[in-house]
Chains A and B, each alone.
Chain A
Amino acid sequence: MTRISIALSAATLFACSGSPATPSTPAAATTASAASAPAPAGPNPYAVGGEHAGCAEAKAGQGEHACAEAAQKAGGGHDCGAVMGEPIKFPDTAVVTDASGAKVTVAGAKLTGAPLVSVADLLAHPDTYVGKTVRLEGNVSAMCGHMRAWFAVQAPGRSADFVRVFSAPAFLVPENAVGTKARTEGVVEVIATSPDTARHLAGEHELAQGAQQKTVVIRATGAEFI
């Protein structure tokens, strides 16, 4: 009887094992195309809405662990679901000490010195930057805790604006990245955001997107977390 029980348990559990990551490969710099066009002044069509717009859905004790499911519901392709379909190029991180003596967690490809843009500029003038490689710096206000597939860089000041940075499939966001300062580089995209994804971001991550159907994101190649 015991043997049969073990066999049944085994059959059930077999489907549960899995890994989002692949064995490590050494980091290497990627080609970056410069984006140097100045951002014109104007309205902010992609700015996010007010703070806590979706907090009513958030449950105490509930973390950031439904990302993959939300991404799947949203049709996959983007968000955390990205990590499930492709091998991670640089699954490992390294901790180094920079010139100021601060400990820096380096993930993904080495930063190449792409032109620096601000969250406000990206949100205000996404068309200027779409398809270009840029550098973004700022505080990390949220991350995908389940798959470690993205993090959010908060705009300075009191706006609730943020830009999400997709780390997968280039690298995984280090654990405990929320609250750190990040430098990252990647290609700017404007993607469609499903209502499910928007609800998930607002509820689980307290990132309110407002009523926008599209959001500006960065497909990162590498990042540094301080």
Chain B
Amino acid sequence: MAWRRTLLFLHRDVGYLSTGLVIAYAISGFAVNHRQDWNYNQSRESETVYVGKPDELVPPGGATTTAAVPPGPDAQGDAALVAAVTRALGRPSPPRNSFWRGPDRLSLFYGAGATDTVDYHPSTGLADLIVLRDRTVFRSLNFLHLNEGRHLWTYVADVFAVALAFLAVSGAVMIKGRQGLRGRGGVLVALGVLVPLVALLLLRWT
């Protein structure tokens, strides 16, 4: 019938147009699906080095900050310690910000946000050097998939969603005969519908 032929052409061309986003969303979907196992946007590299305990880092007679000091603001001692840790690490410039995140964890922020952080532990003299880097491909694809851009992209993604629905429906009905909906195609479509229904039944509705 003529409508099947028209549908086939439309399915083909919409399929061609959707290829880029199907692949992009598939990769991002895979990444986000496993969010409990990894940081899908950023990689994390960490290294622990010994920089010295506070009494080794800060010259005798200077301001000191040791783990024995009770909790509380100690701006002068903290500044001296931050400067000493920065020197010990060979950093060319002071951190953008620094503050205690616990009794034995002084965080020094060098890069934007937490992308380049040093966690210094006075009790051991150890420093964790933590670098977060965007995963270029995943970060970009997630930006699209999770609609972080909003505005115009919202409408592009809406059109894509309609295109996907069209591909699904047209793909199911455009083949006639034993390979179509009344035969093998119908079985496969039923299976495809059953999978999410069974998942909902087992995971949500019971």
**Can you name the residue of chain A whose Cβ is closest to the Cβ of B74?**
A157
Interface size on A, residues (CB 8 A): 53
Complex CA gap A2/B19 in Å reads 11
Q: Taking A8-B171, A9-B22, A17-B145 as contacts, is the C-beta distance between A61 and B44 under 8 angstroms?
A: yes
Q: Are A158 and B151 in contact (CB under 8 A)?
A: no
Q: Are A19 and B157 in contact (CB under 8 A)?
A: yes
Q: Are A3 and B12 in contact (CB under 8 A)?
A: yes
Q: Which of B11, B38, B114 has the most CB of A within 10 A?
A: B114
- Contact among A21, A69, A139, A176 for B113, CB-based, below 8 A: A176
Q: Are A62 and B172 in contact (CB under 8 A)?
A: no
A90-124 residues at the B interface, CB under 8 angstroms: 91-92
> DSSP class of B's interface residues: helix, strand, loop or mixed?
mixed
A168-186 residues at the B interface, CB under 8 angstroms: 175-181
Q: Chain A 48-77, CB within 8 Å of chain B: the 1/0 string?
A: 001110000000111111100100000000
Q: Chain B 4-32, CB within 8 Å of chain A: the 1/0 string?
A: 00001001100100110010011001001
Q: Chain B 130-171, CB within 8 Å of chain A: the 1/0 string?
A: 001000000000000111101100100100110111011011
Complex CA gap A178/B97 in Å reads 10
Q: Taking A156-B73, A180-B113 as contacts, is the C-beta distance between A206 and B36 under 8 angstroms?
A: no
Closest CB in chain A relative to B143 CB, distance in Å: 11
Q: Taking A8-B171, A10-B167, A179-B107 as contacts, is the C-beta distance between A62 and B157 under 8 angstroms?
A: no
Complex CA gap A175/B168 in Å reads 36
Q: For residue B160, which residues in chain A have a CB less than 8 angstroms away from its CB? A: 17
Closest CB in chain B relative to A71 CB, distance in Å: 13
Between A and B, how many residue pairs show CB distances below 8 Å? 168
Q: For residue A145, which residues in chain B have a CB less than 8 angstroms away from its CB? A: 39, 41
Q: Are A139 and B164 in contact (CB under 8 A)?
A: no
Query: How large, as a class, is the contact surface on chain B?
Result: 35 or more
Q: Are B99 and A154 in contact (CB under 8 A)?
A: yes
Q: Chain B 57-82, CB within 8 Å of chain A: the 1/0 string?
A: 00000000000011111100000000
Q: Which residues on A are within 8 Å of B, measured CB to CB?
A: 2-4, 6-11, 13-24, 50-52, 60-66, 69, 91-92, 139, 141, 145-146, 154, 156-160, 175-181, 206, 208
Give 17 A-B pairs besides A6-B18, A17-B147, A179-B107 with Cβ atoms closer than 8 angstroms.
Answer: A3-B15, A7-B167, A7-B172, A8-B192, A13-B164, A14-B161, A19-B147, A23-B150, A24-B150, A60-B46, A61-B44, A62-B37, A65-B35, A69-B36, A158-B71, A181-B97, A206-B101
